[in-house]
Structure 1
Amino acid sequence: MANSPTHSDSPPTATTGWSTLHRHHIGIDLGGTMIKYAVVDTAEGTLTTPLLQLPTPVPVTPPAVAEAFGTLIHQLSSRPHAPHPGASVGVALPAIIRRGIACSAANIDEAWIDLDVERFLTDRLDRPVHVLNDADAAGLAEARYGAGQGDAGRPVTGTVLVITLGTGIGSALFVDGKLVPNLELGHLELGGVKAETQASAVARERENLDWPAYAGRLQQYLAHLEFLFSPDLIIVGGGISARHEDFLPHLCLDTPIVPAQLRNTAGVIGAARHAYLAAPIRE
């Protein structure tokens, strides 16, 4: 078995600690239309099952989602490389999460707001559940296993900023490997309007912008972030990152900027990583 991680985002360990022995966790990424899920080897950041999907229930209420989660956990538990029955589950939610409580709800039912999601899902699923914001989950995966590894195969030190370009703009910030949670940088205002209304992937499609014109929007936005945070690396994700050669070369920043690597698996991998880090030591 591979050695347990020793960098700053590792949980405390004991000589025969349960968390060091059980590195497989279920990761779930709740989206507005689809739920993505898989079993993840958190030592390697790889999937031990295919990336699976099922439709998000409508309406996206907590009880309906809990029922869907129960179904997929039962399904995964019967597969090879299934996690230990006591292994915690990681869930990425489109919400601001503070100490397990949802403080917002994007494309999900407002019944999630003010709900202690970790307690609710732990009780419903009869196993430990740990939740985090979906952009934070994707960032956690990229920083630990993806583009944040750098050329030497070790996590980039200093400040790493992960930006996802999609319907809006998601963001995750890491300082020496530690996540600064719930950083909603898509809501920064540029020219009196929210940045994500001008520089998201959907904004490019809506306004039929060519790549140089879109890169100009991103240049203004990312240069502002560069001034605010002085990052050592910027990682650009979201589906549009598959076309990074069409717009990244048009940018002129002092900070190195690279495309994300994990694509649509990032949220699932990051959720499982969060579950691993949050899992208690059991001897």
Structure 2
Amino acid sequence: MKKKTKASKHRNPNPKKSVRTLAIDIGGTGVKAIVLDDKGHPVTERGRIVTPRPATPQAILDTIAELAKGQGVFDRVSIGFPGVVRKGVTITAPNLDPSWKGFDLVHHVEQWLGKPVRAANDADVQGFGAIQGEGVELVVTLGTGFGSALFVDGRLVPNLEIAHHPFRSKKTYEEELGDKVLKEIGKKKWNHRLKLAIESLEALFNYDRLYMGGGNAKKVTLELPENVTLISNVAGLLGGIAFWQMDESPLVKMKVARS
């Protein structure tokens, strides 16, 4: 794959033009992409490629490039990543590959695609696509692992990592609710554990609303409290314009399309 020139840092080179954002969601089982207009409406069909194994940085970069080719024209890129991201550099990636530690994801994708790029934890991105922007809102993602994001009046509390905190029987939320244990114990027992986790999280955060997304959200069968909402996995892509809207408004209350 041929490298492209370094990305321009201009936010919007043509303010009269509707800016298109390529939103990418890197997951433990699949890498997804879609192009959004500046209102958060999808303008392309979602593309998906199975996450390569081993999920090294180079393998994921190749996958992103392949998805980008099928999405047409875009002006900028946002990436949801399954781990801690600081200033565009990946700090952890428990469900990908050890070689991600210290990898400058933003820089490398800018080099490959020739567009400005921003990246954040995937649960953070999914949260921006789901929250109402009022009060304390917690987002958890149920997928290969267990993701989390906390928002207060629409503002993200950075670097929240619930997954590896003790939950029950000296095991963590990820150990008790990740995809691996779901396959081992089955949906019924998994849902019982999820019920206990919801009770634990509410006592811990006193949230006004809890949103649950991720690939395994569709396997939730328990009766949910009134302040708990299941959200579409597409929110992980729709929240992708949030990185850029934060520059364009003093409020971080996202107005992305939910349809």
TM-score range, shorter chain: 0.7 to 0.9
Indicate whether 1:25 and 2:21 are aligned: yes
1:166–1:202 contact (8 Å) kept in structure 2: no
C-alpha deviation, 1:280, in angstroms: 8.3
- Structure 1 residues 72, 237: closer, same or farther in 2, change over 3 A? closer
Q: How many residues align?
A: 238
Q: Which one of the candidate residues 57, 61, 66 is aligned to 1:66?
A: 61
1:248 corresponds in structure 2 to 223
1:49 corresponds in structure 2 to 44
Matches of 1:172 and 1:163, distance apart in 2: 6
Secondary structure of 2:175's aligned partner: helix
Matches of 1:161 and 1:174, distance apart in 2: 6
For 2:30, the aligned partner's letter is M
Q: Which one of the candidate residues 125, 135, 141 is aligned to 2:113?
A: 125
Matches of 1:73 and 1:48, distance apart in 2: 14
Overall identity of the aligned pairs, in %? 30
1:206 corresponds in structure 2 to 184
Matches of 1:76 and 1:42, distance apart in 2: 16
- Larger relative contact order (CA 8 Å, sep ≥ 6): 1
2:139–2:210 contact (8 Å) kept in structure 1: yes
The Cα RMSD (Å) is: 2.9
Q: How do residues 66-85 of structure 1 correspond to structure 2 at under 5 angstroms?
A: 66-77=61-72, 82-83=73-74
Q: Who wins on radius of gyration, i.e. which is larger?
A: 1
C-alpha deviation, 1:25, in angstroms: 0.6
For 2:218, the aligned partner's letter is A
C-alpha deviation, 1:275, in angstroms: 4.4
Matches of 2:15 and 2:205, distance apart in 1: 34
1:116 corresponds in structure 2 to 104
Matches of 2:103 and 2:202, distance apart in 1: 35
- Structure 1 residues 19, 113: closer, same or farther in 2, change over 3 A? farther
For 1:61, the aligned partner's letter is T
Taking structure 1 as the reference length, the TM-score comes to: 0.73
Matches of 2:67 and 2:185, distance apart in 1: 39
Secondary structure of 1:239's aligned partner: coil
Secondary structure of 2:78's aligned partner: strand
Secondary structure of 1:185's aligned partner: coil
1:188–1:194 contact (8 Å) kept in structure 2: yes
For 2:25, the aligned partner's letter is D
Matches of 1:19 and 1:232, distance apart in 2: 37
For 2:49, the aligned partner's letter is L
C-alpha deviation, 1:240, in angstroms: 3.8
C-alpha deviation, 1:60, in angstroms: 2.7
2:245 corresponds in structure 1 to 277
